[in-house]
Structure formats: structure tokens, C-alpha cells
Amino acid sequence: MHATDHFLHMHTYPPIPAKAHFQGVIKMETQQQNTAATVPSDEAKLTRTQAIAQMIWVDLGQTNNIQTHALKFYESVSCMESKTGEMRYGTVWRYAGEKIWRVETLDGVSLRCEGLASAKVSALDLAIARLERDGYVQCIPDEAEKVDEGEVIRCFVRVIGEATDPDDVGIEGIYLVEVHTTRHLDLELVTELEREEIANAVLNEFHERQGIEVLDDFNISVHLSDGSAIENDRDEVDRQLVRKADYCGMISESESPVLMRFRCPNCGETSPHEDDACILNAFIGLLRDRGIHKEHQLEKLHAYCDVSRLWDTLNGVLDDLGNGHYMDRQVVEDSSSSGD
């Protein structure tokens, strides 16, 4: 197939309910295309890892009540850096408010997936298979991929705040970032240094793909796949655990770990909350001020607190307080002697 025919064929999509919407996007991309696609020789074909490294997800936003993400493939690293020679190899979309995402491929495959992350994984696998058939990717993985014992960890970035810049409106939410590690990882045994390394990689990838005009308007936190928070107190960390991080875009709250959206067992507010009237939240704040516990430890202490036991203990303290057990006797005597 000629390169130009191949490019045009890649932009032909099967009929879907949002056909007009996607045709408009495809037409715009075709007009912006500056170079014709050329199928590489066998010696120049990419491995699966190399091909994935030359693919990015682009959040196309919402049009006509349809949210869309496009999977773009670049012919080379230099094309990726210059943003030229891009080709769309997959699309995931949903009607705003729905949980089901649709995956549309160049081969006319149409899948339904629950959750954006699941839809992107399916779209990526189908895109790699198509790239193999199109001659861009070699079917047999290279040696580096054969001995790879790493894994992919789902991490989450939570953005909370109130935008003062118009360009930041709608930035609040939860974002998925997939972290590729150099070895298998047991989350229960992750060291503080490894947590910092993961957080550093996630934040760097997030800020590279998601611009924020006024950072001071927002509180940005990073969470592991179990929902526990991880912190990064250093600008630079040694990369030993993390191979790379991939930004996957915003997800719905229902797709995030339960720990990230727990309700305070005392007052019922959704985490995080700023209610000073909640005594449990106030106690967690006091523990935070002590500086002994890490943030992910405080989250678990808050989320899994047995408030019945807490109040059983506090009721005794309140009884003692009401009976004057905590009064400063010297102050009372001085006050009595002075006639106050």
C-alpha cells in the first residue's frame, strides 16, 4: 500500500453515533499533517516497547456532549519531539456522564469498556497489533523486553482547589498516571525512597502533559494504586525503580481507589475535608502537626478509625473535664482568694 493511501486509510473510522464529530477531528488532523508516512525496512522496525514510547494519548476535551481521547503514533523520536508525522491509531470516547467508554480502531473494531483506564489499555493493544501488520513494529520482542521483569503500577494525581485563572477552570479532579517499573513491586514493602521516586516520576509526567497556570491555587497529591498518598520532598531523585511514567488523562471519581474517596467515619464528609467541627479531623490535624506520621499513614488512621471506640474513650475524658479533674488548682485558689 502506498504511504499516502495508508495514511488516509488509517483515518477511516467505522460508523458510530458520533460519526460527524470524529470526521471533523480527522479532517483537521489531515490538514495539519506535514509529512507522508513511510513504512520502515525490517532492520528499522520498532519493538513493542519502542513503539509505545512513540505513542501518546491526547485529551481532545468535550464536544457535543462527547468526551474523546486520541492515541497518536509518531514515526520516530525526532518526529515526536517536533510534533510532526503523527498518525492516529485509536480513539476512546464516551457520552458525558456515562461510565462506559467506547474503543474505536482502524480495523473497524468497536469495544465497550467500563472506565477510561481499561479502554486505553484495550486501544493500545489493538494499536500495537495494527502497527505490526502495517510494518512499523516487529512481531518478536527484542532481548531487553524478554528479560523485563517489571510491571505497570496505576498511580493517581488528585487536584483540589479553586481556579483564579480562566485557563485553569475545570482542572480539579483525579488523573491516572501509569508507572513502569524495573522490577516487580509489593506495595506493602515499598520504602520511603521508592515512594519519593514514584511520586517524582508521576508529578513530572503530570506537569509535562497537564499545564496549570497558577499552581498556588491548587493542592496536588499523588497516590498509589491502593489510594495511599505518597510524597516527594526533593526536586531530584535517583531513578532506580521507575523506568518511565505515562499520563493517561482525567478519570471519574468512581474509577479511583476507595481510600481516595472515603467518607470520614465521624462526620460523613468526603475526604479530604476541612471541617474543624469534626473532632476526628481535628485529631488527625494534631497528629499531622507533630510531624511523626507520613501523609499516607494519616489517611489510613482517618479512614479506618473505629469512632465508637474513640468516643468511648473521649466520653471518659469529657466526664473528667466536666468534674473539674483538669482544672489548675492553684489558679482556682488564687481566684477564690482575690474574690473573683
**Span 219-238, pLDDT tens digits:** 898 988 888 888 776 666 66
Task: Specify whether the CB–CB gap between 86 and 72 falls below 8 A.
Answer: yes
> Residue 207 above 60 pLDDT?
yes
Going by pLDDT thresholds of 50, 70 and 90, the confidence category of residue 324 is confident
* Length of the chain counted residue by residue: 340
User: What is the C-alpha to C-alpha distance for residues 309 and 6, in angstroms, rounded to an integer?
Assistant: 67
pLDDT reported for residue 213 = 87
Going by pLDDT thresholds of 50, 70 and 90, the confidence category of residue 179 is very high
pLDDT reported for residue 28 = 41
Q: Name the helix (H) or strand (E) containing 56.
A: strand 55-63
> Residue 7 above 50 pLDDT?
no
Give strand pairing partners of 159. Answer: 173, 220
What values do phi and psi take at 219, rounded to 5? Answer: -105, 120
State mean pLDDT over 110-119. Answer: 79
- Looking at 213-217, 231-235, 320-324, which range is the least confident one? 231-235
> Residue 118 above 90 pLDDT?
no
State mean pLDDT over 270-296. Answer: 78
What is the rounded average pLDDT for all residues in the chain?
Answer: 77
> Residue 82 above 50 pLDDT?
yes
Task: Find all residues with CB under 8 Å of 93, minimum gap 6, and list them.
Answer: 18, 22, 66, 67, 68, 69, 101, 102, 104
The share of the chain scoring above pLDDT 70, in percent, equals: 75
State mean pLDDT over 87-99. Answer: 87
Is the pTM above the cut of 0.75? Answer: no
Q: Which tens digits make up the pLDDT trace of 34-44?
A: 334 555 555 56
State mean pLDDT over 62-84. Answer: 87
> Residue 310 above 50 pLDDT?
yes
Q: Which tens digits make up the pLDDT trace of 123-157?
A: 888 888 888 888 888 765 444 444 456 788 899 99
Going by pLDDT thresholds of 50, 70 and 90, the confidence category of residue 260 is confident
